[in-house]
Structure 1
Amino acid sequence: MKVVLSCEHAVNTVPEKYKFLFQGAEKILQTHRGYDLGALELFKMLQNSDIAFSQFATVSRLLIDINRSPYRRTLFSEFTKPLNQSAKDEILEEYYYGFRRLFEEKIYQFWKQNHTVLHLSIHSFAPELNGEIRQTDFGILYHPGRQQEKQFAKIWKQELVKLLPEFCVRFNYPYRGKPDGHVRYFRDREEEKYLGLEFEMNQKYAENSQVHKKIAKAFGSSVEIINKT
């Protein structure tokens, strides 16, 4: 089995040529809407594990959301929707497909070599959204109808609970494991040789560097264990 790693909402970067679109929106870019706070640090910690391939997005989700299919309404945000089709196509080609194609090439390469791929997609979530307090520290998302994903999710949770017993880990929360996204794209292409899990960390820990480092270290150790399973 080959373990691959992605972080689709890693940064809040806007390329220079598109900064005019975000004038007055600098504060929004600093929030969970602009990127997944703390996710990139977890991603980098995992790169020290036995990962066959890893890749993180280099632009803000508010420029284009790499974790959505091209037909989704939320692919472009309210800041980029006013652009004409030619400008949108340019962003799609350079940043969306620039990320997705390379990742897909690597996965297909592993499939051709008859490897099963375990894809870990790293995210974080806002502690509160629309007045709702999210009741967990970590979420592990998987497709309930895919037994191997369910089994690896259980193993991952067990290891995290051992390493971080004071934290709460829940399955398919605060999001369900089935909706559209980068992981689902591969599920729809190769049922037998693909396992996709998404990890969600509560962003309240991103602002506490000591706790964040502790989580990142345990997170890396837990992935090394499931990699050997």
Structure 2
Amino acid sequence: MSASPALLITCEHGGNDVPPPYARLFTPWRDLLASHRGFDAGALETARGFATATGAPLFASTTTRLVVDLNRSVGRPGLFSEITRPLPARMREAILAAHYHPHRQAVAAAVADLLESGRPVLHIASHSFTPCLAGVTRHCDAGFLYDPKRSAERDFCGKWMQELACLDPDLILRRNSPYRGVADGLATALRRRFGERYLGIELEVSQRFALAGPEALSSVNEHLVLALLRALGRDTPCRAP
């Protein structure tokens, strides 16, 4: 990046709220709502930490992804869950109009406005993942998802990971894990729309920190924030002993 980027933070799966019109529909699904299927535990706290420390705008949703997944494209199987997929088309369209399109459109409009300043835009989407899926342990504490073909995204993730590893060498950091950075998602859609001046990075933090309690989550978030500030050139870079 030749110029310092304008920063934008989002959190698509920040809570497990059920809109009142669908409350009865979700009554039998309380356990699922509380699980990793219902929301990304800890992701909203991480996103708020980034926004507070950097002054970047934050766009977050606390509507459960089981109503509609804001990080999936319209027409993709994962857009609606097994709970809302059987609803009539008019009800699914109403869900999109009330909860999906407003978030996606607001983020896209913010990116467009920031690009008008002439600076590149760095979009960080805060997510989290379950440390064990289908009986398989995921050996990762934080995953940095990006498009490997985009050197600016790759290089920035490298700086961020380097600073984070210096702050906490015990963290297991992965590139494009536990998901691929070019898979269907909001960042992928925005890359297609805005081109090379848009940098989209999805941060995936293990939910083991959120499950361990506020202190553990706060600790890893402090390191994530400080490493981000250093990668952005807003704080003195870490020097490993």
TM-score computed with the length of structure 1 as normaliser: 0.97
- Is 2:192 aligned against 1:174? no
Deviation (angstroms), 1:73: 1.1
Identity of counterpart residues, as a percentage?
35
Q: How many residues align?
A: 229
Q: 1:226 aligns with which of 222, 231, 234?
A: 231
AA at the equivalent of 2:62: T
1:69 counterpart residue number: 73
Deviation (angstroms), 1:131: 1.8
8 Å CA contact 1:5, 1:51 repeated in 2: no
Deviation (angstroms), 1:115: 1.9
AA at the equivalent of 2:86: P
Deviation (angstroms), 1:23: 1.6
2:25 counterpart residue number: 21
Deviations 1:19-58 (Å, cap 9, x if unpaired)? 1111210010000000001111111111212243211113
- Is 2:240 aligned against 1:215? no
Deviation (angstroms), 1:121: 0.6
1:33 counterpart residue number: 37
| Structure 1: stretches of 5+ with no match in the other structure | none
Q: 2:120 aligns with which of 112, 116, 119?
A: 116
State how far apart, in whole Å, the 1-side matches of 2:227 and 2:18 are.
Answer: 33
1:85 counterpart residue number: 89
Higher relative CO (CA 8 A, sep ≥ 6), structure 1 or 2?
A: 1
Deviation (angstroms), 1:211: 1.5
| Structure 2: stretches of 5+ with no match in the other structure | 235-241
TM-score computed with the length of structure 2 as normaliser: 0.92
- Structural RMSD (CA): 1.2
State how far apart, in whole Å, the 1-side matches of 2:55 and 2:6 are.
Answer: 7
State how far apart, in whole Å, the 2-side matches of 1:99 and 1:20 are.
Answer: 24
1:195 counterpart residue number: 199
2:238 counterpart residue number: none
8 Å CA contact 1:50, 1:227 repeated in 2: no
8 Å CA contact 1:127, 1:134 repeated in 2: yes
Deviations 1:139-182 (Å, cap 9, x if unpaired)? 11111111110000100100111111111111111111110101
Deviation (angstroms), 1:194: 0.6
Deviation (angstroms), 1:190: 2.1
State how far apart, in whole Å, the 2-side matches of 1:146 and 1:101 are.
Answer: 24
State how far apart, in whole Å, the 2-side matches of 1:76 and 1:175 are.
Answer: 19
Q: 2:144 aligns with which of 125, 134, 140?
A: 140
1:42 counterpart residue number: 46
| Runs (4+) off by over 2 Å | 226-229
* Residue pairs, 1:144-159, within 5 angstroms: 144-159=148-163
